[in-house]
Amino acid sequence: MMWFFLVSDALTFSGLLVAYGYTRHTTQAAWPIGEETFDSLPFLGHGYPLMYVALMTFILIVSSVTMVLAVEAGHRMDKKGVMKWMIATIIGGFFFLGSQAWEWSHFIHGSHFGSVEILSGEHTGSRAIVKGHFGELESFTVVQAGKHHKVGDVIKETPDELFHHFRTAVMNGQVKDGKITLHDGSVATWKRHHDEHMELIVKTDGTEHSLAKVTKIHGKDAEAKYWESVNSGKKGAIIYGADLQSNEYGPSQYGQFFFFITGFHGFHVFSGVMINILIFLGVSRGTYHKRGHYEMVEKTGLYWHFVDLVWVFVFTFFYLV
């Protein structure tokens, strides 16, 4: 019966991936590139294309191996062996889920630059993703009093906290002409380090037509265009991270498919871990040993390998090609 369930579930995933391919081929904007979108590692920052997904893939492969070793131990009626390998599998499953949580959080929060709508020049109306190193914020200086701050107050917090205020203000269209309106209503100027190696990669053309080729804007020109949009006070000129409406990486459907397909797969992994825990409890109580065979371990093993199998395809079509 497990095989019949897996056949139908595999058809579901096939349908989802084909729908993804369909959308990707119809859309006019340039589709995000895996190694550009996913290039971060926890604690180490940017510049490690695909390393993190590779790690996730490896974790899932290893947990699939430990599962098949549990099944093999079951064939020898080796209860201790089954327990050992099942615990390893469960730990691998939790590691994968934790990795995915980190990746989602990273995807949702996005980069320091976000993506930018270009407001002047030959690319007016086009949207570009931004690469480079964002100059850290140092402080805000209040120039117009609000509920909590007086004129002349200097707000010093960690760069991350300052950036959090900055990001919120930009998203709400409250940054204009070098001044930021803080959430208590006070208006401030900011002091920050210089950006480095900024590069705009134009991905979506201002017209309805698809891009003939991807254009890149470097250096001073890129900085001027980027900060013009930040300082425009136009809501949505800068998009940070991703939600179901829009995302900084590319067309909105990209984010929607990302959440749905990796989310649906993650849900399968979660169910798999729960089932593995139940079966592990059964093994440790000797239920299957008394029965004379470990067929239940073999069945959950099938499901667990299937989850790995789906990830192999998601990995290829979402991250590699």
Could you tell me the smallest distance in angstroms from the CB atom of residue 270 to other proteins?
Answer: 20
| 262/274 Cα distance (integer angstroms) | 18
Among 9, 23, 139, 206, binds other proteins (CB under 8 A): 23
| Type of residue numbered 258 | F
Q: Encoding tokens for residue 97? A: 């889920």
Whichever of 97 and 201 has its CB closer to other proteins, that residue is 201
Backbone angles phi, psi at 132, to 5 degrees: 125, -170
Instruction: Please state the length of the chain.
Output: 321
Going by the DSSP 8-state scheme, the letter that residue 1 receives in this structure is -
Among 19, 41, 87, 277, binds other proteins (CB under 8 A): 19
Q: Encoding tokens for residue 127? A: 């949207």
Among 151, 244, 278, 320, binds other proteins (CB under 8 A): 320
Could you tell me the smallest distance in angstroms from the CB atom of residue 174 to other proteins?
Answer: 32
Question: Does residue 40 touch other proteins according to CB under 8 A?
Answer: no
Instruction: Look at phi and psi of residue 30 and say left if phi exceeds 0, alpha if psi is from -120 to 50, else beta.
Output: beta
| 210/207 Cα distance (integer angstroms) | 8
Among 16, 29, 41, 54, binds other proteins (CB under 8 A): 54
Q: Which residue has the tokens 């084909």?
A: 18
Question: Does residue 28 touch other proteins according to CB under 8 A?
Answer: yes
Question: Does residue 27 touch other proteins according to CB under 8 A?
Answer: yes
Among 16, 29, 41, 65, binds other proteins (CB under 8 A): 65
Q: Encoding tokens for residue 115? A: 């993506």
Applying the rule CB under 8 A, the residues between 189 and 208 that interact with other proteins are: 208
Whichever of 190 and 318 has its CB closer to other proteins, that residue is 318
For residue 108, what are the CA distances in angstroms to 52, 111, 162, 252? 16, 9, 19, 13
| Type of residue numbered 291 | R
What is the helix (H) or strand (E) element at residue 61, kind and residue range?
A: helix 51-75
Whichever of 150 and 291 has its CB closer to other proteins, that residue is 291
String marking each residue 107-126 x if it binds other proteins according to CB under 8 A: --------------------
| 251/204 Cα distance (integer angstroms) | 8
CB 248 within 8 A of CB 255: no
Applying the rule CB under 8 A, the residues between 244 and 303 that interact with other proteins are: 292-295, 301-302
| 8/13 Cα distance (integer angstroms) | 9
CB 156 within 8 A of CB 163: no
Whichever of 191 and 293 has its CB closer to other proteins, that residue is 293
Question: Does residue 147 touch other proteins according to CB under 8 A?
Answer: no
Region from 156-164, 255-263, 267-275, 304-312 binding other proteins, contact rule CB under 8 A: 304-312
Pairing of strands 154-155, 238-239: unpaired
Among 64, 99, 232, 300, binds other proteins (CB under 8 A): 64
Residues contributing to the site for other proteins (CB under 8 A): 3, 7, 10-11, 14-15, 18-19, 21-28, 33-36, 49-51, 54, 57-58, 61-62, 64-65, 67-69, 72-73, 75-77, 208-210, 292-295, 301-302, 305-306, 308-309, 312-313, 315-316, 319-321
